[in-house]
Protein backbone atom coordinates (compact mmCIF):
# COMPACT_ATOMS: atom_id res chain seq x y z
CA UNK A 1 0.00 0.00 0.00
CA UNK A 2 1.41 3.44 -0.90
CA UNK A 3 2.40 5.48 2.15
CA UNK A 4 2.68 9.23 2.14
CA UNK A 5 4.77 11.33 4.51
CA UNK A 6 2.90 14.33 5.86
CA UNK A 7 5.40 16.76 7.35
CA UNK A 8 3.82 19.14 9.85
CA UNK A 9 5.21 22.67 9.57
CA UNK A 10 2.81 24.57 11.82
CA UNK A 11 5.21 24.99 14.75
CA UNK A 12 7.62 26.74 12.37
CA UNK A 13 5.81 28.20 9.37
CA UNK A 14 2.60 28.75 11.29
CA UNK A 15 3.96 30.33 14.44
CA UNK A 16 6.47 32.61 12.74
CA UNK A 17 3.70 34.13 10.62
CA UNK A 18 1.53 35.43 13.45
CA UNK A 19 2.12 38.17 15.99
CA UNK A 20 1.43 36.14 19.12
CA UNK A 21 4.27 34.22 20.76
CA UNK A 22 3.33 30.75 21.97
CA UNK A 23 5.04 29.87 25.27
CA UNK A 24 7.62 27.11 25.03
CA UNK A 25 5.73 24.59 27.23
CA UNK A 26 2.63 25.10 25.09
CA UNK A 27 4.67 24.50 21.92
CA UNK A 28 5.99 21.24 23.32
CA UNK A 29 2.52 20.10 24.41
CA UNK A 30 1.24 20.81 20.90
CA UNK A 31 4.17 19.04 19.23
CA UNK A 32 3.69 16.08 21.56
CA UNK A 33 0.00 15.88 20.63
CA UNK A 34 0.85 15.99 16.92
CA UNK A 35 3.36 13.18 17.35
CA UNK A 36 0.81 11.17 19.32
CA UNK A 37 -1.57 11.50 16.36
CA UNK A 38 0.98 9.70 14.20
CA UNK A 39 2.96 12.48 12.54
CA UNK A 40 6.44 11.14 11.86
CA UNK A 41 8.14 14.42 10.89
CA UNK A 42 7.54 17.86 12.38
CA UNK A 43 9.36 21.06 11.49
CA UNK A 44 9.42 22.54 14.96
CA UNK A 45 11.20 25.90 14.52
CA UNK A 46 13.52 28.10 12.52
CA UNK A 47 16.96 29.24 13.68
CA UNK A 48 16.87 32.97 13.03
CA UNK A 49 17.81 36.02 15.12
CA UNK A 50 15.23 36.54 17.89
CA UNK A 51 15.06 40.25 17.09
CA UNK A 52 13.69 39.34 13.65
CA UNK A 53 11.36 36.55 14.75
CA UNK A 54 10.80 36.56 18.51
CA UNK A 55 8.39 33.66 18.00
CA UNK A 56 11.44 31.46 17.35
CA UNK A 57 13.66 32.68 20.20
CA UNK A 58 13.35 29.30 21.98
CA UNK A 59 14.35 27.23 18.93
CA UNK A 60 17.10 25.20 20.60
CA UNK A 61 14.91 24.41 23.60
CA UNK A 62 12.04 23.32 21.37
CA UNK A 63 14.28 21.02 19.31
CA UNK A 64 15.68 19.47 22.48
CA UNK A 65 12.19 18.86 23.84
CA UNK A 66 10.88 17.43 20.58
CA UNK A 67 13.87 15.11 20.29
CA UNK A 68 12.67 13.35 23.42
CA UNK A 69 9.58 12.11 21.57
CA UNK A 70 10.05 8.54 20.40
CA UNK A 71 9.91 7.92 16.66
CA UNK A 72 9.72 11.57 15.65
CA UNK A 73 12.03 13.07 13.02
CA UNK A 74 12.64 16.60 14.27
CA UNK A 75 13.14 19.11 11.47
CA UNK A 76 14.08 22.78 11.51
CA UNK A 77 14.62 25.60 9.04
CA UNK A 78 17.83 27.62 8.84
CA UNK A 79 18.45 30.46 6.38
CA UNK A 80 22.23 30.58 6.72
CA UNK A 81 25.37 28.89 8.05
CA UNK A 82 25.01 30.33 11.53
CA UNK A 83 21.46 29.08 11.85
CA UNK A 84 22.33 25.69 10.39
CA UNK A 85 25.13 25.18 12.90
CA UNK A 86 22.74 26.02 15.73
CA UNK A 87 20.19 23.57 14.33
CA UNK A 88 22.79 20.82 13.99
CA UNK A 89 24.07 21.38 17.52
CA UNK A 90 20.53 21.39 18.94
CA UNK A 91 19.95 17.92 17.51
CA UNK A 92 17.70 18.44 14.47
CA UNK A 93 17.53 15.37 12.24
CA UNK A 94 16.69 17.41 9.15
CA UNK A 95 17.45 21.01 8.23
CA UNK A 96 15.75 22.85 5.39
CA UNK A 97 17.52 25.75 3.71
CA UNK A 98 15.12 28.23 2.07
CA UNK A 99 16.43 29.11 -1.38
CA UNK A 100 14.27 31.48 -3.43
CA UNK A 101 13.97 31.03 -7.18
CA UNK A 102 12.96 34.69 -7.40
CA UNK A 103 15.96 36.85 -6.53
CA UNK A 104 13.61 39.64 -5.40
CA UNK A 105 12.15 37.25 -2.83
CA UNK A 106 15.61 36.06 -1.83
CA UNK A 107 16.67 39.61 -1.04
CA UNK A 108 13.49 40.22 0.96
CA UNK A 109 13.50 36.89 2.79
CA UNK A 110 17.17 36.14 3.53
CA UNK A 111 18.86 39.33 2.30
CA UNK A 112 21.06 37.45 -0.14
CA UNK A 113 21.51 37.34 -3.90
CA UNK A 114 21.42 33.99 -5.68
CA UNK A 115 25.21 33.88 -5.78
CA UNK A 116 25.48 34.61 -2.06
CA UNK A 117 22.88 31.97 -1.25
CA UNK A 118 24.75 29.36 -3.28
CA UNK A 119 27.88 30.14 -1.27
CA UNK A 120 25.86 29.81 1.94
CA UNK A 121 24.46 26.42 0.95
CA UNK A 122 27.94 25.19 -0.01
CA UNK A 123 29.23 26.22 3.44
CA UNK A 124 26.34 24.46 5.20
CA UNK A 125 26.91 21.27 3.21
CA UNK A 126 30.63 21.36 4.07
CA UNK A 127 29.85 21.79 7.77
CA UNK A 128 27.30 18.99 7.71
CA UNK A 129 29.66 16.63 5.93
CA UNK A 130 32.54 17.38 8.29
CA UNK A 131 30.81 17.42 11.67
CA UNK A 132 27.17 16.29 11.46
CA UNK A 133 27.02 13.60 8.74
CA UNK A 134 23.76 12.05 9.97
CA UNK A 135 21.70 15.22 9.45
CA UNK A 136 19.58 15.35 6.31
CA UNK A 137 19.75 18.57 4.28
CA UNK A 138 16.94 19.85 2.10
CA UNK A 139 16.94 22.84 -0.19
CA UNK A 140 13.40 24.18 -0.17
CA UNK A 141 12.94 26.22 -3.35
CA UNK A 142 10.68 29.12 -2.38
CA UNK A 143 8.61 30.94 -5.04
CA UNK A 144 9.07 27.94 -7.33
CA UNK A 145 5.71 28.55 -9.01
CA UNK A 146 5.52 32.35 -8.97
CA UNK A 147 6.34 35.38 -6.85
CA UNK A 148 4.28 38.31 -5.59
CA UNK A 149 7.37 40.51 -5.91
CA UNK A 150 8.69 39.40 -9.29
CA UNK A 151 5.60 37.94 -10.93
CA UNK A 152 5.98 34.88 -13.14
CA UNK A 153 8.90 32.56 -12.41
CA UNK A 154 10.11 30.62 -15.48
CA UNK A 155 10.08 26.87 -14.90
CA UNK A 156 13.56 26.68 -16.42
CA UNK A 157 14.82 28.93 -13.61
CA UNK A 158 13.35 26.59 -10.99
CA UNK A 159 14.92 23.51 -12.58
CA UNK A 160 18.27 25.23 -13.05
CA UNK A 161 18.40 26.22 -9.38
CA UNK A 162 17.28 22.75 -8.29
CA UNK A 163 20.15 21.21 -10.25
CA UNK A 164 22.59 23.67 -8.71
CA UNK A 165 21.45 22.74 -5.20
CA UNK A 166 21.85 19.04 -5.92
CA UNK A 167 25.35 19.66 -7.29
CA UNK A 168 26.22 21.48 -4.06
CA UNK A 169 25.39 18.30 -2.14
CA UNK A 170 21.98 18.67 -0.48
CA UNK A 171 20.10 15.41 -0.02
CA UNK A 172 16.86 16.57 -1.60
CA UNK A 173 15.26 19.56 -3.29
CA UNK A 174 11.63 20.39 -2.60
CA UNK A 175 9.37 22.90 -4.32
CA UNK A 176 7.37 25.51 -2.40
CA UNK A 177 4.37 27.48 -3.63
CA UNK A 178 5.27 30.30 -1.25
CA UNK A 179 2.81 32.73 -2.78
CA UNK A 180 -0.16 30.53 -3.66
CA UNK A 181 0.35 30.99 -7.41
CA UNK A 182 0.53 27.32 -8.46
CA UNK A 183 -2.11 25.50 -10.48
CA UNK A 184 -2.46 21.72 -10.89
CA UNK A 185 -1.23 21.55 -14.49
CA UNK A 186 1.88 23.52 -13.58
CA UNK A 187 2.47 21.43 -10.46
CA UNK A 188 2.30 18.12 -12.33
CA UNK A 189 4.54 19.37 -15.13
CA UNK A 190 7.19 20.89 -12.84
CA UNK A 191 7.43 17.98 -10.43
CA UNK A 192 7.75 15.52 -13.32
CA UNK A 193 10.56 17.67 -14.72
CA UNK A 194 12.18 17.87 -11.28
CA UNK A 195 12.23 14.08 -10.98
CA UNK A 196 13.64 13.74 -14.48
CA UNK A 197 16.37 16.22 -13.55
CA UNK A 198 17.27 15.01 -10.05
CA UNK A 199 16.03 11.44 -9.72
CA UNK A 200 15.89 10.35 -6.07
CA UNK A 201 16.92 13.82 -4.89
CA UNK A 202 13.60 15.24 -6.07
CA UNK A 203 11.83 16.14 -2.83
CA UNK A 204 8.42 17.04 -1.52
CA UNK A 205 5.80 19.73 -2.00
CA UNK A 206 4.92 22.73 0.13
CA UNK A 207 1.62 24.27 -0.97
CA UNK A 208 -0.35 27.26 0.21
CA UNK A 209 -4.10 27.53 -0.18
CA UNK A 210 -4.06 31.28 -0.80
CA UNK A 211 -6.31 31.01 -3.85
CA UNK A 212 -8.09 27.78 -2.96
CA UNK A 213 -6.01 25.41 -5.08
CA UNK A 214 -3.92 23.76 -2.37
CA UNK A 215 -5.52 20.31 -2.30
CA UNK A 216 -5.99 20.24 -6.07
CA UNK A 217 -2.26 20.84 -6.32
CA UNK A 218 -1.66 17.92 -3.94
CA UNK A 219 -3.56 15.58 -6.27
CA UNK A 220 -1.55 16.87 -9.23
CA UNK A 221 1.70 16.29 -7.34
CA UNK A 222 0.61 12.75 -6.46
CA UNK A 223 0.20 12.12 -10.19
CA UNK A 224 3.85 13.17 -10.55
CA UNK A 225 4.90 10.58 -7.91
CA UNK A 226 5.46 13.08 -5.07
CA UNK A 227 5.13 11.29 -1.73
CA UNK A 228 5.99 13.99 0.83
CA UNK A 229 3.75 16.96 1.60
CA UNK A 230 4.10 19.81 4.07
CA UNK A 231 0.97 21.00 5.87
CA UNK A 232 0.09 23.17 8.84
CA UNK A 233 -2.49 22.38 11.47
CA UNK A 234 -5.40 24.77 11.25
CA UNK A 235 -3.93 26.31 8.10
CA UNK A 236 -1.61 28.54 10.12
CA UNK A 237 1.19 30.20 8.24
CA UNK A 238 2.34 32.09 5.19
CA UNK A 239 5.53 33.84 4.25
CA UNK A 240 5.88 37.23 5.98
CA UNK A 241 8.05 38.41 3.07
CA UNK A 242 5.54 37.56 0.32
CA UNK A 243 2.61 39.99 0.57
CA UNK A 244 -0.78 38.28 0.54
CA UNK A 245 0.64 34.75 0.64
CA UNK A 246 -1.36 33.48 3.58
CA UNK A 247 -2.56 30.02 4.41
CA UNK A 248 -0.72 26.72 4.29
CA UNK A 249 -2.82 23.71 3.40
CA UNK A 250 -4.61 22.34 6.46
CA UNK A 251 -3.10 19.16 7.90
CA UNK A 252 -6.47 17.73 8.92
CA UNK A 253 -7.92 18.22 5.42
CA UNK A 254 -4.79 16.87 3.73
CA UNK A 255 -4.77 13.69 5.80
CA UNK A 256 -8.46 13.10 5.09
CA UNK A 257 -7.88 13.62 1.35
CA UNK A 258 -4.99 11.16 1.25
CA UNK A 259 -6.65 8.50 3.38
CA UNK A 260 -9.90 8.73 1.41
CA UNK A 261 -7.85 8.12 -1.76
CA UNK A 262 -6.43 4.93 -0.28
CA UNK A 263 -3.04 6.41 0.61
CA UNK A 264 -1.74 5.48 4.04
CA UNK A 265 -0.42 8.35 6.15
CA UNK A 266 -0.22 6.54 9.47
CA UNK A 267 -2.02 9.53 11.04
CA UNK A 268 -5.18 9.37 13.15
CA UNK A 269 -7.55 12.21 12.34
CA UNK A 270 -9.20 12.16 15.77
CA UNK A 271 -5.72 12.47 17.20
CA UNK A 272 -5.20 15.53 15.01
CA UNK A 273 -8.36 17.05 16.45
CA UNK A 274 -6.96 16.49 19.94
CA UNK A 275 -3.76 18.24 18.86
CA UNK A 276 -5.88 21.07 17.51
CA UNK A 277 -7.26 21.53 21.03
CA UNK A 278 -3.68 21.84 22.32
CA UNK A 279 -3.03 24.46 19.65
CA UNK A 280 -6.10 26.46 20.70
CA UNK A 281 -4.93 26.39 24.31
CA UNK A 282 -1.52 27.69 23.32
CA UNK A 283 -2.87 30.38 20.98
CA UNK A 284 -6.23 31.45 22.37
CA UNK A 285 -8.24 33.54 19.94
CA UNK A 286 -6.10 32.75 16.87
CA UNK A 287 -8.26 31.82 13.84
CA UNK A 288 -7.94 28.19 12.77
CA UNK A 289 -9.21 26.78 9.50
CA UNK A 290 -10.19 23.45 8.04
CA UNK A 291 -13.23 21.71 6.59
CA UNK A 292 -12.79 18.33 8.27
CA UNK A 293 -12.58 19.81 11.79
CA UNK A 294 -15.87 21.59 11.12
CA UNK A 295 -17.76 18.82 9.32
CA UNK A 296 -16.27 15.75 10.98
CA UNK A 297 -15.58 12.41 9.32
CA UNK A 298 -18.28 10.97 7.04
CA UNK A 299 -20.25 7.89 8.03
CA UNK A 300 -18.42 4.77 6.93
CA UNK A 301 -15.05 6.46 6.65
CA UNK A 302 -12.17 3.98 6.78
CA UNK A 303 -8.45 4.61 6.90
CA UNK A 304 -6.44 3.29 3.99
CA UNK A 305 -4.72 0.70 6.15
CA UNK A 306 -8.12 -0.62 7.30
CA UNK A 307 -9.60 -0.75 3.81
CA UNK A 308 -6.67 -2.63 2.31
- DSSP per position, 216-256: HHHHHHHHTT--EEEEBGGG--B-TTSTT-B-BPBHHHHHH
**249-269 as b/e, with b when 16 or more CB fall inside 10 Å?**
bbbbbbbbbbbeeebbbbbbb
C-alpha to C-alpha distances, 76 to 48, 53, 219, 260, nearest whole angstrom:
11, 14, 26, 30
In the residue annotation, 147 being an active-site residue is answered as no
Phi, psi for 283 (deg, rounded to 5): -130, 65
- Coil, strand or helix at 79: coil
Burial (CB < 10 A; 0-12, 13-18, 19+), residue 219, is middle
Between CA 63 and CA 152 the distance in angstroms is 36
Q: Which of 45, 67, 147, 239 is catalytic?
A: 239
Closest-CA residue to 30 (of 229, 215, 251, 178): 251
Catalytic residue set = 239
Amino acid sequence: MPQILVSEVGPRDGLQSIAAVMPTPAKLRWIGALAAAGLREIEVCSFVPPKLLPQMADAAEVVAGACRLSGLAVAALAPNLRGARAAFEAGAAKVTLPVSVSEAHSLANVRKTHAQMRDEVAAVVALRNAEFPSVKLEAGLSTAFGCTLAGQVPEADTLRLAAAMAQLGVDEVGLSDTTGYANPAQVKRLFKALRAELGERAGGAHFHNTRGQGLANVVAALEADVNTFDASQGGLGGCPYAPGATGNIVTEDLVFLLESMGLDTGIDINGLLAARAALREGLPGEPLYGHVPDAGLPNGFAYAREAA
